[in-house]
Structure 1
Amino acid sequence: MDVSTLTSRGGPRTGREARGAATEGAARAGLSARGVIYLLVGALALQIAFGDGHRQADRGGALAEISGKPFGAVVLWALAVGLVGMALWRLSEAVFGAGGPEGRKATKRLSSAGRFVFYAFVASSVLLFAVGSRGGGGGGNSDKQSKDMTAKVLQMPGGQWIVGLAGIGIAAAGVWIGVRAVMRKYHDKLKLGQMSRRARQAVDITGVGGGAARGLVFAAAGVFAVRAAVEYEPDKAKGLDDTLRSFAHTPAGPWLLVCVAAGFVLFGLFSFAMARWRKV
């Protein structure tokens, strides 16, 4: 019997097919986990905008919110597993190359490697929180972590330059994220042929609105880091929670924070759409 026929009809899979199936499952689980976190952070930021200043609108606050709910521990472990999947997906892209004609380029592999490091850190912080180590990265305050890290780097030789360049890089990444979202560059990564017209419209609303809000927050955080470097004051650096709160102190008042928080909720929904229709 032809082995290729066996494989195509549900017989033994080749190593490449098995790896591809595992990678796809990891990617979709990771995107779903990302969606949950962004939804919760956006919801917490909305509560802050409407007067509940005791909430912590960052990953730690989102995890604390989950842990206080029925079956919270189960959800935390599910998120941790999903984020581990996200990290492994990016690692697979760095090692074997991503899909598409340009997926094996060095720049694409390097980008995937950077994302692997980021999601490995996020996954480890959620795992620490899930096992009860709430003093770790997952349950810590992002603002304190940002200030402490900035203070340590500023004390190093050339520390001001390092913090300043990092801030410029973060701000530039924010602009890049926002512009790509507005230009709907994510279309290249979606299985548009499998989506109805209404689904595409919904994805565009969440993708553009969510990506623009996410880019704005990154850009603001980068500006605060540059300010900390220029003024040599670590306290000028801000984590996600303080960055979000800063929008409420603009001339637009809390309504700008409402818009950004709503954008985070949209990005959470967009992440679910990516989990469903993204090409992997």
Structure 2
Amino acid sequence: MRWWPDRSEARAAHGTGVAAAARAGLAARGVLYLLIAALALRIALIDGSEQADRGGAVQELAERPFGRVLVWAVGIGLIGMALWRLSEAVFGGAGPDDSKARKRLLSAVRFVFYSAVAGSVIAFAAGERSSGAGSTDEQSRDATARVLDWPGGQALVAAAGAGVAAAGVWITVRAATRAYRRHLKPAQMSPATRRTVDVLGVGGGVSRGLVFAAAGGFAIRAAVTYDPDHAKGLDDTLRTFADTPAGPWLLAVVAVGLALFGLFSLAMVRWRNF
């Protein structure tokens, strides 16, 4: 009698675990983006004072009935997202090209990012109210100020800003070209479902990419001017859209786009191939 699974059984168990972690992570990401979008829309239409970023979303969630339980659930889901990306970095992803070194490196970067986000949300759920609900604007300015004081700090901040801006352009292009389709299960989707997912994926991805690109541009400006106050987190970046000639309506459009991305993340829980 065998007391251990054979290699195929181990692979199947690993795949099931990865899929469960990924679905939990996508659901948590979707909830956060829907909350951020609601806060941004409130700012655009009512001139609210809330933080339209991860911290504001976590605080908003905590104020709901069973809020602490919900925050814990989101934090655990984000841990699942981090573990999914770690698995892709180590073992490769499900896509035909996801085992290439470039894809694995990208997954490793995502693992670091989602680990940090999950850690801050879990810390908030555990009672450190200055963690998960901290302002991303303050965090961005503080981090920029520290790095600017390093030898070669201006170059480092400029490079980081350029990286974030490039990521925004990359996200936008991939959304516009519907690159996400190669990860879907088309045989299980009706034509109406595919059209709906395309609306969510394109609209949501383009809006998300625009926000990333703008945040990267502000970081570059902070490096050029040697002024960390020019660095902006998600909240200040979103508010900047309301200061354009288009006024708060541009922020409202971006907020709707972020809501679409939240719904797209939730749709991926069902329709993505892991």
Q: TM-score by structure 1 length?
A: 0.94
What corresponds to 1:225 in structure 2?
219
Identity among equivalent pairs (%): 63
Q: Does 2:67 align with 1:72? A: yes
SS state at 2:46 partner: coil
Q: Does 2:154 align with 1:154? A: no
What corresponds to 2:255 in structure 1?
261
Unpaired stretches in structure 2, ≥5 consecutive residues: none
Paired with 1:175 and 1:95, the residues of 2 have a C-alpha distance of 26
Q: Which of 267, 273, 276 is matched with 2:270 structurally?
A: 276
More displaced 10-residue stretch of structure 1: 44-53 or 216-225: 44-53
Q: Deviations over 1:43-97 (max 9, x none)?
A: 0000000123311100000000010110111111111111111111111111111
2:213 maps to amino acid: A
Q: Deviations over 1:160-200 (max 9, x none)?
A: 11001111111111011011101111101111111111111
Q: CA deviation at 1:32?
A: 0.6
SS state at 1:50 partner: helix
Q: Which of 5, 12, 19 is matched with 1:17 structurally?
A: 12
2:29 maps to amino acid: R
1:222 maps to amino acid: G
What corresponds to 2:31 in structure 1?
36
Q: Does 2:89 align with 1:94? A: yes
Paired with 1:162 and 1:83, the residues of 2 have a C-alpha distance of 28
What corresponds to 1:116 in structure 2?
111
Q: TM-score by structure 2 length?
A: 0.96
2:124 maps to amino acid: F
Q: CA deviation at 1:102?
A: 2.0
Give 4+ residue runs of structure 1 displaced > 6 Å after superposition: none
Paired with 1:108 and 1:176, the residues of 2 have a C-alpha distance of 14
1:158 maps to amino acid: G
Q: Which of 181, 189, 211 is matched with 1:187 structurally?
A: 181
Q: What is the alpha-carbon root mean square deviation over aligned residues?
A: 1.7
- 8 Å CA contact retained: 2:95, 2:182: no
Paired with 1:105 and 1:184, the residues of 2 have a C-alpha distance of 21
Q: Which of 203, 208, 224 is matched with 2:197 structurally?
A: 203
Paired with 2:91 and 2:169, the residues of 1 have a C-alpha distance of 29
SS state at 1:69 partner: coil
Unpaired stretches in structure 1, ≥5 consecutive residues: none
Paired with 2:239 and 2:79, the residues of 1 have a C-alpha distance of 29
Q: CA deviation at 1:13?
A: 7.5
The count of corresponding residues between Structure 1 and Structure 2 is 272
1:245-256 equivalences in 2 (<5 Å): 245-256=239-250
